[in-house]
Structure 1
Amino acid sequence: MKLTFYKYQGTGNDFVMIDNRTDFFPKKNIQLIERLCDRRFGIGADGLILLENHPQYDFKMVYYNSDGNESSMCGNGGRCLVAFAKQMGVISDKAEFEAVDGYHFATINADNNVALQMKDVDAIKNETNYTFLNTGSPHHVALISDLETLDVKSEGSKIRYSDLYGNAGSNVNFVRQISNDTFAIRTYERGVEDETLSCGTGATAVAIAMHQTGKTKNNTINIKVQGGKLKVKFEENNGNYTKVFLIGPATFVFEGTINS
């Protein structure tokens, strides 16, 4: 079967997009999804996303990591899916959709800059050396001084597979503060099992963690990722973070067909 696909990237976090509104894609075929995401034997991507019909909202998002398994929420993937839905004529400049973590709202402008509303956050675990929170996906956040030289794959893997998080694991973010409202981050993503150039739920987690721990008083945070720049906005009241938006570019790269 020839499979039509579309490739998108959001600050270097790249995805294979498939229009599955006719429900043709074999969603249980882990090996197929893994092969499509393979950078040598397939298309190459950090994940694969299906655009599907939804009875109430504009569409449904189904997300798979590059290991072929369905995963928790992906912020950059959600932003890219909004741009893909616009390309497919499903939406114009606003979107309401359902992902694995529930309802999302987004806006997209003429430059394909997408502002995606993330889930509210009210449970944040602050420890001496790290902060843990869930922004649609679980995230370990740690401030370090040697961000540029750090072996993210090695150090991130140790934490991801440590006794802290058991079999489920966690994404791991290493952070360096640049100014009162700007932070540089590098992220190890579970499911990819490596560093990615960007992680949207990770950028969101870092912004909230830095605010919660008093590293910044701003509620608009600039996040410098390996693949570009993201912005996170939120409102906070007594440790409850609401109206959380992840903002950044979502770029169409190419489309094609592949034998599946």
Structure 2
Amino acid sequence: MRIDFTKMHGLGNDFVVLDGRTGALPVVDAALAAALADRHTGIGYDQLIVLAPSDRGDFRMRIFNNDGSEVEACGNATRAIGLLHGRPASIETLGGMVATTPTDSGISVEMGKPRFDWNLIPLGYPMDTHSLPVAWEELVNPIAVNVGNPHVIFFVEDPYRIDMARLGPLIENDPLFPERINVNVATVTSRDALTLRVWERGAGLTRACGTGACATAIGAMKRGLADRKVTVALPGGPLTIEWREDDEIVMTGPATESFRGSFDAADYGISD
């Protein structure tokens, strides 16, 4: 049994897409996701995206990190799926419903509304999410927000001077975050521009993170550091984030299809 896939990326954050909307796929679990993610013995990716029929939207999207963990949301992957679908779509995710629309400047995604309550991040115990009274070395007093998945954002002088390879996993796995956390370090360069690096929960340091860009933009706006529409510069390129007056977050940016292929299911322990 051979299984078709599509390899895609959004600003260098790369995905393998398995499309089960019109035909059955094998059961995708953590072990299979981690095996396919290996860049030497598998296909290689940051996230595995599994599409399936949905009773709530046009289709459902499941998201697995390269460590095999399943997560609620991925902004870059949502843009990629919007490109693959080729027309406006309502997509069911574990983080809620999102909507994609092709535009002249890429794919626009309605990401939902930000959540700031400590138990919705979630945190291990109550505290002010606008400025958490915690620190990890030079990273202090982050803002926490859930934009379909959980994020903490630190505003620093230069995100490229932060040792994210060391501090990222330390913060991600801190007991304060019972479901782990995505870690963002950012600099506000003007009222409409930010520079950002992201340590992604379950995936590590990434060239781009769509939900991280959304969370960081919202954090800057919430603290009065930025206007309601900003450009977020990531290592892989820029994204435009708008926080509309109806509280909806809208992300716009590019997505690219890299290639298509197939793999032998038996190579990964899957039988007919």
Is this a same-fold pair by TM over 0.5? yes
Contact 1:57 1:98 in 2 (8 A): yes
Structure 2 residue aligned with 1:123, among 101, 112, 116? 116
**1:58-88 CA-partner distances (Å, limit 9, x unpaired):** 21111111112221111111111111122xx
* 1:96 aligned residue: 90
Please give the secondary structure, in 2, of the residue aligned with 1:246.
strand
1:148-167 alignment runs, 5 A limit: 148-166=160-178
Q: CA deviation at 1:201?
A: 0.7
Structure 2's unaligned 5+ residue stretches are 118-128, 134-140, 266-272
Structure 2 residue aligned with 1:249, among 254, 265, 270? 254
* 2:39 aligned residue: 39
> Which of 4-13 and 124-133 deviates more?
124-133
Q: CA deviation at 1:22?
A: 4.2
**1:160-211 CA-partner distances (Å, limit 9, x unpaired):** 1123213x1100000012222111100001111x101111111000000000
Q: Are 1:212 and 2:212 an aligned pair?
A: no
Would the alpha carbon gap of residues 253 and 28 (structure 1) be closer, same or farther in structure 2, given more than 3 Å must change? closer
Q: CA deviation at 1:123?
A: 1.8
Would the alpha carbon gap of residues 179 and 51 (structure 1) be closer, same or farther in structure 2, given more than 3 Å must change? same
Q: Are 1:20 and 2:24 an aligned pair?
A: no
Q: Are 1:185 and 2:190 an aligned pair?
A: no
Partner Cα separation in structure 1 for residue 49 and residue 254 of structure 2:
17
Partner Cα separation in structure 1 for residue 104 and residue 157 of structure 2:
38
Please give the secondary structure, in 1, of the residue aligned with 2:83.
helix
1:137-176 alignment runs, 5 A limit: 137-166=149-178, 168-176=179-187
Q: Percent identity?
A: 32
Partner Cα separation in structure 1 for residue 38 and residue 143 of structure 2:
32
How many residue pairs match? The answer is 246
Please give the secondary structure, in 1, of the residue aligned with 2:259.
strand
Q: Are 1:202 and 2:208 an aligned pair?
A: no
Please give the secondary structure, in 2, of the residue aligned with 1:118.
strand
Contact 1:51 1:85 in 2 (8 A): no
Partner Cα separation in structure 2 for residue 110 and residue 214 of structure 1:
30
Would the alpha carbon gap of residues 119 and 56 (structure 1) be closer, same or farther in structure 2, given more than 3 Å must change? closer
Contact 1:72 1:136 in 2 (8 A): yes
| AA matched with 1:102 | G
* 1:89 aligned residue: none
* 1:135 aligned residue: 147
| AA matched with 2:185 | F
**1:112-144 CA-partner distances (Å, limit 9, x unpaired):** x11100121242611162100100010010011
Would the alpha carbon gap of residues 7 and 215 (structure 1) be closer, same or farther in structure 2, given more than 3 Å must change? same
Contact 2:89 2:99 in 1 (8 A): yes
Would the alpha carbon gap of residues 110 and 175 (structure 1) be closer, same or farther in structure 2, given more than 3 Å must change? closer
Would the alpha carbon gap of residues 9 and 164 (structure 1) be closer, same or farther in structure 2, given more than 3 Å must change? same
User: Considering only aligned residues, what root-mean-square deviation do their CA atoms show, in Å?
Assistant: 1.7
Please give the secondary structure, in 2, of the residue aligned with 1:207.
helix
**1:199-230 CA-partner distances (Å, limit 9, x unpaired):** 111100000000001111x1111100111110
Q: Are 1:85 and 2:85 an aligned pair?
A: yes
Partner Cα separation in structure 1 for residue 164 and residue 76 of structure 2:
20
Please give the secondary structure, in 1, of the residue aligned with 2:160.
coil
Q: CA deviation at 1:110?
A: 5.7
